[in-house]
Amino acid sequence: MPRSELRGYHWRTPIAKYLDAMKPTIILKPLVILISVLIMTLGLPAWAVDLDRDAAASVAQRASGGRVLAVESVRHDGRAVWRVKVVTPQGEVRVVLVDAATGRTL
């Protein structure tokens, strides 16, 4: 080909053409993976935390000095807590909230 005909012609390798065609996939695939991981992380149930049900019951029993009646996982002020219902030695029924991440009573 004469040089005058090559002026507007841009020769590209097949690899460059393939990469240009894959640019949306190259950008979107990591984004989709990141969004999926975030959704799975945020969707964890309240009991999938550091402190288990038995440990929360022990903390509440030590804090109140009573007997544990029930333990359930709830959300309180945006964080996972264990709601432990206890009967004190005086016969009163009390609810003790135990932070599931730290193990402290609230």
In a domain, residue 19? The reply is yes
Residue 32 and residue 70 share a domain: no
Comparing 40 with 98, the larger pLDDT belongs to 98
In a domain, residue 105? The reply is no
Summarised one tens digit per residue, pLDDT across range 14-59 is 776 766 776 666 667 777 788 887 777 676 555 455 788 999 999 9
Comparing 12 with 85, the larger pLDDT belongs to 85
Residue 93 and residue 57 share a domain: yes
Summarised one tens digit per residue, pLDDT across range 56-80 is 999 999 999 999 999 999 999 888 8
Residue 32 and residue 7 share a domain: yes
In a domain, residue 48? The reply is no
Are 96 and 103 in contact by the 8 Å Cβ rule? The answer is no
CA distance 21 to 101: 47
pLDDT greater than 70 at residue 7: no
Helix (H) or strand (E) holding 49: none
Are 81 and 75 in contact by the 8 Å Cβ rule? The answer is yes
Exposure class string for 59-77: b at 16+ Cβ within 10 A, else e: bbeeebebebeebebeeee
| Residue 79 three-state SS | strand
In this structure, are strands 67-76 and 79-87 parallel, antiparallel, or unpaired? Answer: antiparallel
Which pLDDT belongs to residue 3? 54
Domain count, the chain: 2
Question: Which range of residues forms the domain containing residue 94?
Answer: 53-99
- Quote the radius of gyration of the chain (alpha carbons, Å): 30
Which pLDDT belongs to residue 83? 96
